[in-house]
Amino acid sequence: MESIEKKIPFTCPSCKSEHMVTCYEQLGPNKKEEVMSASFLQWDCESCGHKVKLVYPTYYCNIEKEFVVFLRPNASDVSCITEDEKEMFKDFTMRLCKTADTFVEKVRVFEANLNDRAIELLKLITFAKIHVENDTIQDIFFYRRSEHGSLEFTLMYKEDIDGIDIDQAMYQNVLNIVTDELPPLEEDVYCIDLNWAGAQVV
């Protein structure tokens, strides 16, 4: 599926100059690098150089890998995905993301051929272990699979950013739990995030 872009009017919040900015109604693998780097959300004002992060409803679809990730900023739940959208991507893995950061992360996960339920549970375990020693940790995001096969995560602290590598074997152990112990997903669309992961261990 090719990306579809559109131009929309936008007023720079800094210098108040008027511009036409590029947004995307849909994103495909031809924009994969821009999505995984989050650069597709970045806009620089041509008049004053002010940088703005534009967050708007869109989706990323990889037909070959049969997944679609919806970005619906501040959505309350999966009911924001229409029946037409569900029908369009019938039999695809469909995920809802409510923030730009989780949207970018989810695309990274699926493009790396990883199971997002296992990744979220692995994030939860890692977050909990780190929090015991450092309660300033605020979030954790999957970044990439390294050339050696380990999984790299970004750690967001109150006043710092760090990273951690997790061995493929630990991911596989969690994946086995997902496969053997968690019930199968039966709905069309799910929001699989840290909140979902926390609900699995309560």
| Residue pLDDT, tens place only, 7-19 | 999 999 999 999 9
Distance (Å, rounded) from C-alpha 155 to C-alpha 161? 6
Q: Which of 79, 111, 143 is at the close of a domain?
A: 111
Distance (Å, rounded) from C-alpha 176 to C-alpha 114? 13
The answer as to whether 187 is a domain residue is no
The answer as to whether 171 is a domain residue is yes
pLDDT of residue 201: 84
Whether 75 and 21 map to the same domain: the answer is yes
The answer as to whether 174 is a domain residue is yes
Whether 55 and 137 map to the same domain: the answer is no
Read off the pLDDT of residues 94-107 as tens digits, 9 standing for 90 and up. 999 999 999 999 99
Distance (Å, rounded) from C-alpha 144 to C-alpha 25? 26
Whether 94 and 143 map to the same domain: the answer is no
Task: Enter the pTM of the model.
Answer: 0.95
Whether 127 and 43 map to the same domain: the answer is no
Whether 8 and 105 map to the same domain: the answer is yes
* Structural domain that includes position 70: 4-111
The answer as to whether 88 is a domain residue is yes
Whether 95 and 28 map to the same domain: the answer is yes
